[in-house]
């Protein structure tokens, strides 16, 4: 009965399980919430997922190297506000310049994390907890209690969230969603195919071995933080376009959401493994639950964070239990093969 | 004589005020296996680190094929064709075998071609004469297989000098044989192999020449034909040391202390049964992975048995936790000093007193520091722990002395059953002899002793009886009078059916 379990890669098992849970969750809320299976609901959730997905992908890159980036929420708020400010002052900037500026700003903030973690050798959790507070405080000081409002933004930004790339039946795929999925595809290809990107896994898997193998671990970790910052910057721009009205609390709590998405998506919190497919599923699951709970009359909105936290714990626990179970299976099979005498005998070199 | 691939001349290196190396010279020839021996602290590790670019020498020159070079870092060493494999394999558990092998290659292009990578990896593994699925993740490999991956990584880089730093310390006998075969294959391909080991029999079996270091100085370099084991040991320790003399007959025993029947832990080991008497030394022998250690862990309650019976002094005992085991007077001296044995950052005295703190409680229930120090001092003298103060951090001691601290810690609990797991692994010849003397002395005082050991000469020297395990099954028990290394090995490797014992 358990024979097939052994032949399946743990990562495949995880992705399948995630997809299954996601389907069950959607079915459940569909039965609880009126007008759940509508194009409007799909848009609401997909554009929300797009923002978190960008952050979660960056977070995954960092977590794979055995680090964590808690400052992403503050970076999102920071870039959303500053890019909004820039657009108010110079409404005629080319959209690509604006996007580049958002990513550059995010990258700069990520670089600060990267330098201190990789070269200063301070634990990432401490560094990014610090910058989480620092970036937010700088933003509060800078904003001087002003808000960015939709009225002051150029037309193309305000209309961007409604812009549709193509439609499948009733369902519109928004440009912002396409951007996020595009980034996911690029990072997926890089992580599986790009030689330099494989070093992220190497460093997270065994830092000492990485050093001995001649891998510049500091540069790899720095790059991960840089990219995480840049993607948070991009998410900041999408956030600005989606909401239009930006105050200093923009992106608050996104670090929890992104860590939840990454961990639920099967990225090992101790580094070394994780896939973009998992992160996409993890993000979708986390955000579907989050968005559906706001619509569900039965649950107060204060419970949403607690549920997010519980989801992280369940994901980690399920992962640990599954690995232990697979381990036991492997050992049992080993013993069985021994008594059956089918284990291959090592060949001696001649 | 051919020109040396690598020649070190007059190398010196100091750390703070201690000279680790002074005027050390070493020449490695293409196609030779060159053994490097010396006690712990002789400077072998420092020498390796200089050759691999981890440290820079304070003085001296390094020449590669006649040209003077500077080895600035590990990458530079790799470029020059110098690679090292270590006792603890340095693999990436999450990556597959193929990627592990080619992780250091810079010339494979921007993109991964997984099919080509797997094929190339298969070829490298085949070159070593080993069978291994290159698509498996390294986390599932045995220690020996991980080492094979490391060697494949080194030779894939077109290595000219391969340094093997105690590669066999954690391997079982047939894995050692395989590793030696690999070393000979590399030698045949013209690689210079520098082989560091504590096991002298390996030196004589494998090496063409042998260099001895002592106290950071070069003592001798000789062709293997010109040295004897005794002379080598004399060079290493600077004095003559007795060999391990195999025990001829079992020592006298007292009452039966332990009776184990049908002991098993699901999926780990099964069918273990033996008796153990006061003053008797029972050795668990077997290859790595034969689950010897797991029996020790079960008896000490760390990973309790799932079925079978344990009787202590004729009474059935349930050992579900280390606390319960200690309550029964059982102590376990772990193989893994770092993980299970010692708190490296704490002083010697605190490590020794840890399991016995209750007896040190003074006024107001606080620990009596003076009594703690006295306790540590007592053991320092009795076990000859070499340190200027028991307040020193354990992490700063040599392996042999750390082992003694761990032993002291458990002796203080006055156990009647002591389980030693690889008591002399990774410690030098002199310290080994001392540890053996301590174990024999304890047995003479009536402590029942179990020694888990991969080192056959050690087993032959210590045991009154030998229990042989193979892949989680008890294969047989020898009385020392009937035991031969060959007999034990054939049971452990399964060449002979269990019924023969």
Domains, chain B, with CATH or none: 6-237 (3.40.50.300), 256-329+415-500 (3.40.50.300)
**pLDDT of B501 higher than 60:** no
**pLDDT of B379 higher than 90:** no
Q: Are B372 and B409 in contact (CB under 8 A)?
A: no
- Flag whether residue B440 sits within 8 Å of chain A, measured between CB atoms: no
What's the pLDDT band for A138 if we cut at 50, 70, 90?
very high
- What is the residue whose two structure tokens read 């009536």? B446
* pLDDT tens for each residue of A180-196: 999 999 999 999 999 99
Q: For residue A1, what are the contacts with CB-CB under 8 A and spacing of at least 6?
A: none
Nearest to B451 by CA among B470, B434, B465: B465
What is the average per-residue pLDDT within A62-75?
A: 97
Chain B interface mutation, best of A335, A338, A343, A344, highest count of B Cβ atoms under 10 Å: A335
**pLDDT of A1 higher than 90:** no
* pLDDT tens for each residue of B37-50: 887 667 888 899 99
Task: Give pLDDT, residue A24.
Answer: 92
Pick the range with the lowest mean pLDDT from A206-215, B112-121, B488-497: B488-497
Nearest Cβ partner for A214 among B75, B95, B177: B75
Coil vs helix vs strand at B89? coil
Look at A225 and B414; give whichever has higher pLDDT: A225
Q: For residue A116, what are the contacts with CB-CB under 8 A and spacing of at least 6?
A: A122, A127
Q: Say how far apart CA A4 and CA A104 lie, in whole Å.
A: 48
Task: Give pLDDT, residue B338.
Answer: 62
* pLDDT tens for each residue of A144-202: 888 999 888 999 999 998 888 888 888 888 999 999 999 999 999 999 999 999 999 99
- Flag whether residue A6 sits within 8 Å of chain B, measured between CB atoms: no
**pLDDT of B442 higher than 60:** yes
**pLDDT of A272 higher than 70:** yes
* pLDDT tens for each residue of B332-348: 888 766 666 788 888 88
What's the pLDDT band for B25 if we cut at 50, 70, 90?
very high
Coil vs helix vs strand at B466? strand
What is the average per-residue pLDDT within A4-20?
A: 74
Nearest Cβ partner for B131 among A202, A335, A347: A347
Helix segments in A244-275, DSSP class H = 254-264
- Flag whether residue A215 sits within 8 Å of chain B, measured between CB atoms: yes
Whether B103 sits inside 8 A of A215 (CB atoms) is yes
Nearest to B285 by CA among B135, B488, B145, B494: B488
Task: Give pLDDT, residue A331.
Answer: 64
- What is the residue whose two structure tokens read 């080619």? B102
Model pTM score: 0.73
- Flag whether residue A202 sits within 8 Å of chain B, measured between CB atoms: yes
Find chain A residues with C-beta within 8 A of B84's C-beta: 212
Find chain B residues with C-beta within 8 A of A209's C-beta: 90-92
- Flag whether residue B99 sits within 8 Å of chain A, measured between CB atoms: yes
Q: For residue A36, what are the contacts with CB-CB under 8 A and spacing of at least 6?
A: A29, A30, A292, A295
Element (H, E) at B259: strand B256-265
Task: Give pLDDT, residue B76.
Answer: 86
B45/chain A closest Cα distance in angstroms: 15
Beta-ladder partners of B6:
B28, B64
* pLDDT tens for each residue of B259-317: 999 999 988 899 999 999 999 999 998 876 788 889 999 999 988 999 999 999 888 98
Q: For residue A224, what are the contacts with CB-CB under 8 A and spacing of at least 6?
A: A61, A62, A64, A65, A67, A114, A200
Nearest CA in chain B to A193: B112
DSSP letters spanning B32-85:
-EEEEE--TTSSHHHHHHHHTTSS--SEEEEEETTEEE---SHHHHHHTTEEEE
Look at B21 and B251; give whichever has higher pLDDT: B21
Task: Give pLDDT, residue A232.
Answer: 98
B463/chain A closest Cα distance in angstroms: 28
Coil vs helix vs strand at B272? strand
Chain A interface mutation, best of B95, B102, B306, B475, highest count of A Cβ atoms under 10 Å: B95
**pLDDT of B120 higher than 50:** yes
Pick the range with the lowest mean pLDDT from B83-92, B179-188, B240-249, B433-442: B240-249
- Flag whether residue B231 sits within 8 Å of chain A, measured between CB atoms: no
Nearest to B176 by CA among B152, B154, B202, B142: B202
Whether A206 sits inside 8 A of B92 (CB atoms) is yes
Task: Give pLDDT, residue B154.
Answer: 86
Look at A2 and B214; give whichever has higher pLDDT: B214
> Domains of chain A (ranges plus CATH)?
3-339 (1.10.3470)
Task: Give pLDDT, residue B40.
Answer: 62
Pick the range with the lowest mean pLDDT from B33-37, B155-159, B245-249, B479-483: B245-249
Q: How many CB atoms lie within 10 A of CB A322?
A: 15
Beta-ladder partners of B63:
B7, B68
**pLDDT of A333 higher than 70:** no
Nearest to A84 by CA among A55, A105, A110: A105
**pLDDT of B431 higher than 90:** no
Between CA B352 and CA B74, with CA B20 as vertex, the angle to 5 degrees is 100
Q: Say how far apart CA B446 and CA B414 lie, in whole Å.
A: 11
B153/chain A closest Cα distance in angstroms: 9
What's the pLDDT band for B448 if we cut at 50, 70, 90?
very high
CA A229 to chain centre: 12
Q: Say how far apart CA A332 and CA A348 lie, in whole Å.
A: 26
With the C-alpha atoms ordered B482, B486, B491, B496, is the resulting torsion angle positive or negative?
negative
Whether B90 sits inside 8 A of A349 (CB atoms) is no
Nearest Cβ partner for B181 among A209, A335, A348: A348
Whether A195 sits inside 8 A of B110 (CB atoms) is yes
What's the pLDDT band for A303 if we cut at 50, 70, 90?
confident
What is the average per-residue pLDDT within A228-253?
A: 94
Task: Give pLDDT, residue B498.
Answer: 45
Q: How many CB atoms lie within 10 A of CB B120?
A: 18
Find chain A residues with C-beta within 8 A of B99's C-beta: 198
Whether A202 sits inside 8 A of B111 (CB atoms) is no
Task: Give pLDDT, residue A186.
Answer: 97
Chain A interface mutation, best of B267, B303, B306, B473, highest count of A Cβ atoms under 10 Å: B267
Coil vs helix vs strand at B261? strand
What's the pLDDT band for A350 if we cut at 50, 70, 90?
very low
For A27, A271, A310, B266, B409, the CA distances from A315, given in Å and listed in that order, are: 20, 15, 8, 27, 41
Q: Is the ipTM of this complex over 0.85?
A: no
Q: Say how far apart CA B229 and CA B242 lie, in whole Å.
A: 11
B433/chain A closest Cα distance in angstroms: 34
Find chain B residues with C-beta within 8 A of A331's C-beta: 267-268
- Flag whether residue A12 sits within 8 Å of chain B, measured between CB atoms: no
- Flag whether residue A335 sits within 8 Å of chain B, measured between CB atoms: yes
Strands B161-165, B82-85: parallel, antiparallel or unpaired by DSSP? parallel
Q: For residue A195, what are the contacts with CB-CB under 8 A and spacing of at least 6?
A: B108, B109, B110, B111, B112
Q: Say how far apart CA A178 and CA A47 lie, in whole Å.
A: 10
Whether A338 sits inside 8 A of B472 (CB atoms) is yes
Whether A335 sits inside 8 A of B131 (CB atoms) is no
- Flag whether residue A349 sits within 8 Å of chain B, measured between CB atoms: yes
Q: For residue A263, what are the contacts with CB-CB under 8 A and spacing of at least 6?
A: A63, A269, A282, A312, A315, A316
What's the pLDDT band for A311 if we cut at 50, 70, 90?
confident
- Flag whether residue B109 sits within 8 Å of chain A, measured between CB atoms: yes
Q: Say how far apart CA B156 and CA B105 lie, in whole Å.
A: 9
| Percent of chain B with pLDDT strictly greater than 90 | 33
Nearest to A233 by CA among A65, A68, A72, A57: A72
Helix segments in B207-306, DSSP class H = 229-237, 292-299
């Amino acid at each position: 009965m358990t024979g097939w379990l052994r032949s399946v890669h743990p990562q495949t098992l995880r992705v399948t399980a995630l997809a299954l849970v996601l389907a069950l969750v959607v079915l459940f809320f569909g039965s609880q919430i009126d007008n759940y299976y509508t194009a409007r609901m799909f848009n609401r959730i997909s554009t929300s997922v797009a923002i978190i997905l960008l952050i979660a992908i960056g977070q995954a890159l960092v977590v794979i190297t055995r680090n964590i980036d808690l400052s992403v929420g503050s970076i999102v708020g920071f870039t959303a506000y500053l890019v909004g400010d820039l657009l108010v002052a110079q409404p005629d900037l080319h959209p690509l310049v604006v996007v580049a500026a958002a990513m550059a700003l995010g990258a700069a903030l990520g670089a600060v994390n990267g330098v201190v973690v990789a070269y200063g050798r301070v634990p990432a959790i401490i560094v990014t907890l610090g910058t989480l507070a620092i970036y937010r405080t700088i933003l509060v000081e800078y904003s001087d209690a002003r808000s960015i409002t939709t009225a002051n933004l150029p037309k193309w930004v305000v209309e961007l969230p409604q812009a549709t790339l193509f439609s499948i039946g009733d369902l519109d795929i928004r440009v912002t969603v396409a951007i996020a999925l595009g980034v996911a595809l690029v990072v997926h290809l890089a992580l599986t195919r790009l030689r330099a990107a494989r070093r992220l896994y190497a460093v997270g898997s065994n830092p000492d071995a990485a050093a001995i193998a001649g891998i510049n671990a500091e540069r790899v970790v720095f790059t991960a933080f840089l990219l995480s910052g840049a993607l948070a910057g991009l998410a900041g721009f999408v956030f600005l376009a989606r909401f239009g009205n930006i105050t200093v609390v923009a992106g608050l709590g996104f670090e929890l959401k992104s860590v939840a998405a990454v961990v639920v998506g099967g990225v090992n919190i101790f580094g070394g493994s994780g896939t973009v497919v998992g992160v996409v599923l993890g993000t979708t699951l986390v955000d579907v639950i989050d968005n559906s709970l706001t619509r569900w009359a039965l649950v107060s909105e204060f419970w949403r964070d607690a549920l997010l936290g519980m989801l992280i714990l369940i994901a980690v626990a399920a992962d640990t239990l599954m690995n232990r179970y697979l381990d036991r299976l492997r050992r049992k099979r080993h013993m069985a093969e021994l008594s059956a005498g089918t284990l291959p005998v090592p060949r001696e070199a001649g | 004589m051919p020109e040396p691939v690598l020649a070190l001349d007059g190398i010196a290196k100091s750390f703070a005020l201690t000279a680790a190396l002074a005027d050390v010279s070493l020449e490695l020839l293409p196609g030779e296996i060159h053994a490097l021996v010396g006690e712990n602290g002789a400077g072998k590790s420092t020498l390796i680190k200089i050759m691999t670019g981890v440290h820079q020498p304070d003085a001296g020159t390094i020449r590669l094929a006649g040209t003077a070079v500077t080895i600035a870092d590990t990458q530079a060493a790799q470029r020059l064709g110098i690679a090292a494999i270590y006792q603890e394999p340095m693999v990436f558990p999450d990556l597959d075998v193929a990627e592990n092998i080619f992780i250091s290659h810079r010339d494979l292009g921007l993109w991964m071609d997984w099919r080509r990578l797997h094929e190339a990896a298969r070829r490298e593994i085949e070159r070593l004469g080993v069978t291994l699925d290159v698509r498996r993740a390294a986390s599932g490999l045995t220690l020996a297989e991980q080492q094979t991956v490391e060697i494949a990584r080194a030779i894939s880089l077109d290595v000219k000098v391969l340094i093997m730093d105690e590669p066999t310390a954690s391997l079982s006998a047939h894995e050692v044989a395989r590793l030696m075969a690999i070393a000979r294959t590399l030698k045949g391909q013209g690689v210079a192999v520098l082989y560091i080991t504590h096991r002298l029999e390996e030196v004589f079996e494998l090496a063409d020449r042998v260099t001895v270091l002592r106290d950071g100085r070069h003592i001798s370099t000789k062709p293997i034909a010109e040295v004897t084991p005794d002379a080598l040991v004399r060079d290493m320790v600077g004095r003559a040391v007795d060999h391990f003399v195999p025990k001829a007959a079992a020592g006298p025993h007292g009452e039966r202390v332990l009776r184990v029947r049908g002991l098993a832990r699901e999926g780990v080991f099964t069918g273990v049964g033996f008796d153990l008497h006061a003053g008797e030394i029972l050795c668990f022998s077997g290859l790595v992975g034969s689950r010897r250690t797991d029996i020790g862990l079960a008896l000490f309650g760390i990973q309790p048995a799932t079925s079978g019976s344990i009787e202590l002094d004729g009474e059935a005992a349930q050992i579900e936790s280390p606390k319960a085991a200690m309550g029964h007077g059982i102590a376990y001296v772990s193989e893994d000093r770092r993980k299970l044995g010692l708190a490296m950052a704490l002083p010697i005295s605190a490590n020794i007193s840890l399991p016995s703190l209750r007896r040190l409680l003074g006024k107001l229930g606080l620990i009596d520091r003076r009594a703690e120090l006295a306790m540590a001092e007592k053991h320092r003298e009795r076990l000859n722990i070499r340190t200027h103060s028991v307040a020193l951090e354990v992490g700063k001691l040599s392996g042999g002395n750390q082992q003694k601290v761990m032993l002291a810690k458990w002796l203080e609990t006055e156990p009647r059953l002591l389980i030693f797991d690889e008591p002399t692994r990774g410690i030098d010849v002199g310290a080994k002899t001392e540890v053996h003397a301590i174990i024999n002395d304890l047995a003479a005082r009536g402590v029942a002793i179990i020694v888990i050991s991969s080192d056959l000469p050690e087993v032959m020297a210590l045991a009154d009886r030998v229990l042989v395990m193979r892949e989680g099954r008890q294969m047989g028990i020898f009385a020392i009078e009937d035991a031969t290394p060959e007999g034990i090995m054939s049971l452990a490797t399964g060449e002979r059916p269990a019924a023969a014992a």
